[in-house]
Structure 1
Amino acid sequence: MSTYAELLAEHNSLPAFAPFLPSSSLQPLAITFLSLAFVLSFYFSTLRAKGLPTQELAVGSLASVLGGFGLVFAFCAVGVNV
């Protein structure tokens, strides 16, 4: 079992937290992802219905994922850390 002093020494020796993405890149990523999500959503709404909806599912899923990540990046860019 570790003592408090050992844990404190280990904590003090660790490097400070550094995010994977710098905060300056969040706003351009949010704009890009949300723009692509809107474009793909428009494209999804204009696709003709065919037999198997594989293309529609792929486009809709990609638009949904890009919209979700874009919204998270937008929240983080304005200071609402989720």
Structure 2
Amino acid sequence: MERDIQLQLYGIVADRLKEAHRKVRALQVPEGVRMALSRKLLVITAAAKHDLADAARRLDRLMDDLDEGRFPEDLDSGGSP
């Protein structure tokens, strides 16, 4: 029974990760910002393999940041136009 619940949770997190990837791809942001967000998603995906609850919390925070328009800085721009 517990294994079934765990598998369900993995499915939910996987679906939410797919949604997050779609959101990141659709953003109109500099490429450096998009790359930073993609790296965050990769870290969350890796974390899900070891600690599903932590990955879900990280994903919640990332989705909240995306919804609120809080993005990492574009490190590629180097401050020049």
TM-score (norm 1): 0.41
Larger radius of gyration: 1
Higher relative contact order (CA 8 A, sep 6+): 1
